[in-house]
Structure 1
Amino acid sequence: MGPYLRPVAEYEFDVAPSFAEQDRAQVEPIVRRLEELGVKVYYDEDQLIARWGRNLIEHIAETLTDKVRYVLMFTSRHYVEHSLARHERQTAQTRALEQQNECLLPIKLDDTKVPGLLSSIGFLDSRVHSTEVIAQSVVQKLAQHRAEFTSTTPITAKSVDALVREKPRGWEYLLYATVVAQGLAELQQKYREHFLRYSPRNGTVEHGNGIDLIRDRNVLLSEIIKVAVESVFTAGTQEAAFGRSGEAGDAEQIVHLGELFVRTFDEILDWARGIHGTSYANEQARAAARVQARFADRQLEAMHGVARDLREVADTLVERLTAGERIDMTVPLVFEVEPALELEFKAALDRLSR
């Protein structure tokens, strides 16, 4: 018997399975294992008295909309064809649309496509994932919900403490993904402006050929890169934050590591922004400097891609990790300059030196 999980306060039940009668034999073992783990399940066969004499259409709508935290949607050919199951599905999908929250947890029994169920929604598959894996995924999902921590939760001491207290599986990765995603969201305007090659004037005016300024900026970018490679994005730094295999992570260090990711991204943006914001009396100097600013493009795109990917998996992290999927948190280091851009920069410098 697993430890009792206190029900989520605002709902009478933690979960309710939605399935076709023909699939009951596959669903019931999962229901019973959830109950053993302390999950409060609304299961039709256990609710005979509550359902007796009721209008089942109204009763199902009330239950799936107001009384359960998550609907476990067991999808199959029978599920799509069965009239009562179709009503349950439409009720749950309407709730998800109206409340704009994560309430559907799909579990595939076969490959039948379910109308209205987006392919981008994370799912488990009963043909791949065992009863135990599915049940433990639900348990971890409820732990995450009790912590009231999602990828949009503001990072505060209180929210981090709640997450660490509940410890849903993969909480370290969820915390890191949230810090990074929220930090880069605040820099989105600067990121867009970088690729527009725009920055407001910063008051710096270059009257000469700009060679010394260009050299200084090369040294500065090299130092940003060196610090990132040698201090921030190292295996040792990651291990200190996330812990060794089988060990819990350190919440403060994870937050700090996520903040360093964001700070490095911002520092590279500011490096290029300083170039775009400078006024040049010499047009050749301006042209060479603006080619130099593009040295930042590849690394910014790579880091932005990492943050985007982290954001996309954050809401399904618990299921993915419980199902044995490995989540790659590695930051790609692509600080090298593309050969074509390097040649373009060299040509601009040659014109400047004539």
Structure 2
Amino acid sequence: MRKDDYIYDIALSFAGEDRKYVEKVASELQKRNIRVFYDMFEEANLWGKNLYTYLSEIYQNKARFTVLFISKAYNEKLWTNHERVSMQARAFQESREYILPARFDSTAIPGILNTVGYIDLRNKTPDQLVDLIEKKISKDQTFLSKKWSRLTTFINPKPFIFTIKTVDTKGSPLRGCHIVLVANNATYLESHTDDKGLAHFIIRTKDSYTVLIAHSLYPSEILYNVDPKVDIKVEVQNSTTIASMTFYKSGSLPGMASSIQPLINTEGSLQLFADNIAIEGGVEQPFVFKLNKAIRLEDNEGNSLHLTFRYFKGRIALIDYSRV
């Protein structure tokens, strides 16, 4: 992004509990004529906007840097986590630092490695932090002027965030879903839902996706031809007996002593190999199977289950399973 395309030199991402400190930082930045995105300065501008979309654009594309004020409160907020994912999409796109962590405490934040340099706010006043921000921006302006004088092509397409929310049949957020997005060319992305039932993906292509959802306590869900430009919510059905899982190339089944490996032969048939596991009472392997048809497996310790392949493409499998 060219220097002139930035609306803000710095965007501030923080939890409301830390506003007293952050407001002093924002005010001092403004006094020094540094363009800062701080929500209270933008009250009229934010009024009536779709904040989910608008804030994604700010934190992903419209600021030169973002200061992420890390604290226990920050990690527990829905909106701050949405902002963080947008920042990480930007950081993923660019080969330079964009997220500038500033810590009120030692809380771990997903995607922010402990090895990333940060400012410890426990021994920094707001004015001292602003001094550092000002120096960072000054150095970056020099970097950008040199970079764009040489660069004539835009290498990477602009990524964006796609979010899937999973809920149970009562509408409660469902944590721990393993979600895989499979593109038409069989490449894939994967994520897990958090405490709010949210899984985030950084999308770089224009493909539609097949969405595979698995959970160790719930049956699987499949959605076809999903447009990642529109966030979705999925209700996962309850079951007292059926669980699900996804795996790549091979998988170890819960409660069984060994693993299975499905494949597609040269004729297009689906085949299954099972390591030290009997299929349908001992049928010779490879066992030819069909999607959505249950298979009985038994290992060398007498553990048995019914297995149903719901999806298999490019070595990615989605299965439902239940105890016999």
Give the strand-richer structure, 1 or 2: 2
TM range (shorter): 0.3 to 0.5
Higher relative contact order (CA 8 A, sep 6+): 1
Bigger radius of gyration among the two = 1
How high is the TM-score relative to the length of structure 1? 0.40
